[in-house]
């Protein structure tokens, strides 16, 4: 009961943060001074608010939920962040931006952490620190149902859409080395990528399995095929280099894996 009340309070706080971010609402987080001008992570009195940056185009990890009549960012990552915040005594404010702006936001202290289904690649590890991996994913090829573009070697001479700054963009660049004539279109939001496939402006997209599944379910004209490789990509929480939050976040992730909370959230958002 207590927990439920907390999450309701937090949800409305998040909603307020989202609305403030969009400039569409006048509501402010209750009993909290505004800190819009401050850099994230700076101490400000008693308040312990952490700013989470994300790219809320990644259902079921993070997406805009309009069903309640207000614009709320919800999803697997948001629930994990709320749980961690609850355990460690932080309020979490969610800030939506483009995926390729997330690492720079950490580097310039405009966010305390990033949760965005982000894979801890060696390249990113040069610029940010990561938590342990909390969920796995594989790449897929998304195409129209009547299309026979379902395998990497069929991408030669084809137009392929990917998210700007994502590992799928890197994967497409890698494929282009052998698949001659593969042309890459890099876009900011996954919804735009799906539009490109639907309208036929591109032949295919590369997206992660769980996200592709959702898009295909709501767009029956599309299909997705998992790219068979040994490689599994995981999601981890990213922090500014040297952040003191890495250890405490890892401790809560471990606890969630042990006490069943993680499985509960996986069931809730991935249905498995
Ligand atoms: N896992 C991929 C990566 O780290 C894609 C993540 C995209 N996330 C998002 N919220 N759009 O590059």
4 vs 211: which has the higher pLDDT: 211
CA distance 202 to 112: 36
Q: Total domain count for the chain?
A: 2
Does any ligand 1 atom lie closer than 6 A to the CB of residue 166? yes
Calculate how far, in angstroms, residue 211's C-alpha sits from the geometric centre of ligand 1: 10
Is residue 76 located within the same domain as residue 199? Answer: no
Residue 64: pLDDT above 60?
yes
Q: Is 251 helix (H, G, I), strand (E, B) or coil?
A: helix
Is residue 146 located within the same domain as residue 174? Answer: yes
Residue keyed to tokens 């697997």: 76
For ligand 1, atom 5, name the residue with the nearest CA. Answer: 166
Question: Mind listing the pLDDT tens digit for each residue in 71-94?
Answer: 999 999 999 999 999 999 999 999
Calculate how far, in angstroms, residue 101's C-alpha sits from the geometric centre of ligand 1: 12
Token reading at 221: 């004209």
Residue 38: pLDDT above 80?
no
Calculate how far, in angstroms, residue 116's C-alpha sits from the geometric centre of ligand 1: 6
Confirm whether 107 is domain-assigned: yes
CATH number at residue 184: 3.40.190.10
Does any ligand 1 atom lie closer than 6 A to the CB of residue 57? yes
Is residue 125 located within the same domain as residue 239? Answer: yes
- Give mean pLDDT, residues 104-129: 98
Residue 36: pLDDT above 70?
no
Residue keyed to tokens 């599994």: 232
Is residue 118 located within the same domain as residue 247? Answer: yes
Calculate how far, in angstroms, residue 68's C-alpha sits from the geometric centre of ligand 1: 26
Confirm whether 7 is domain-assigned: no
Is residue 131 located within the same domain as residue 252? Answer: yes
Calculate how far, in angstroms, residue 27's C-alpha sits from the geometric centre of ligand 1: 30
DSSP codes of every residue in 100-164: GGHHHHHHTTS-SEE-SS----HHHHTTEEEEEEEEEE-EEEEEETT----SGGGGTT-EEEEET
Does any ligand 1 atom lie closer than 6 A to the CB of residue 58? yes
CA distance 98 to 112: 16
Provide the pLDDT confidence category of residue 3 given band limits of 50, 70 and 90: very low
Residue 167: pLDDT above 80?
yes
- Average pLDDT along the chain: 88
Q: 8-12, 67-71, 224-228, 235-239 — which is least confidently predicted? A: 8-12
Residue 250: give the domain boundaries: 48-136+234-270
> Which ligand 1 atom sits closest to the C-alpha of 233?
1
Contact 182, 154 (CB under 8 A): no
Confirm whether 52 is domain-assigned: yes
> Which ligand 1 atom sits closest to the C-alpha of 77?
10
Confirm whether 72 is domain-assigned: yes
For ligand 1, atom 12, name the residue with the nearest CA. Answer: 166
Q: Is the peptide bond before 60 cis (omega within 30 degrees of 0)?
A: yes
Provide the pLDDT confidence category of residue 16 given band limits of 50, 70 and 90: very low
- Give mean pLDDT, residues 5-19: 42
Is residue 123 located within the same domain as residue 144? Answer: no
Is residue 191 located within the same domain as residue 145? Answer: yes
Residue 156: pLDDT above 70?
yes
Does any ligand 1 atom lie closer than 6 A to the CB of residue 130? no
Is residue 186 located within the same domain as residue 241? Answer: no
Question: Mind listing the pLDDT tens digit for each residue in 179-238?
Answer: 999 999 999 999 999 999 999 999 999 999 999 999 999 999 999 999 998 788 999 999
Confirm whether 9 is domain-assigned: no
Is residue 151 located within the same domain as residue 214? Answer: yes
Contact 17, 29 (CB under 8 A): yes
**Global pTM?**
0.83
Does any ligand 1 atom lie closer than 6 A to the CB of residue 131? no
């Amino acid at each position: 009961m207590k927990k439920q009340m907390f999450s309701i309070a937090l949800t409305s706080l998040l909603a307020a943060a989202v609305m403030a971010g969009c400039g569409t609402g006048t509501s402010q987080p209750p009993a909290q001074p505004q800190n819009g001008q401050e850099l994230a992570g700076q101490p400000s009195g008693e308040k312990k608010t952490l700013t989470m940056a994300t790219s809320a185009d990644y259902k079921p990890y993070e997406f805009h939920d309009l069903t309640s009549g207000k614009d709320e960012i919800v999803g697997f990552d948001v629930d994990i962040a709320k749980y961690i915040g609850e355990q460690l005594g932080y309020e979490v404010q969610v800030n939506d931006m483009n995926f390729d702006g997330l690492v720079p936001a950490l580097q310039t202290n405009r966010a305390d952490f990033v949760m965005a289904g982000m894979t801890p690649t060696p390249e990113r590890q040069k610029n940010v620190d990561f938590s342990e991996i909390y969920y796995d994913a594989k790449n897929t090829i998304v195409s129209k149902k009547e299309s026979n573009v379902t395998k990497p070697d069929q991408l030669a001479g084809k137009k392929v859409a990917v998210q700007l700054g994502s590992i799928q963009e890197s994967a497409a660049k890698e494929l282009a080395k052998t698949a001659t004539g593969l042309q890459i279109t890099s876009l900011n939001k996954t919804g735009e990528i799906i539009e490109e496939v639907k309208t036929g402006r591109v032949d295919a997209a590369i997206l992660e399995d769980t996200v592709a599944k959702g898009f295909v379910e709501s767009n029956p004209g599309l299909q997705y095929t998992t790219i068979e490789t040994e490689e599994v990509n995981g999601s981890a929480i990213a922090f500014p280099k040297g952040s003191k939050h890495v250890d405490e976040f890892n401790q809560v992730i471990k606890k969630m894996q042990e006490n069943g909370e993680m499985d509960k959230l996986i069931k809730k958002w991935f249905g498995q």
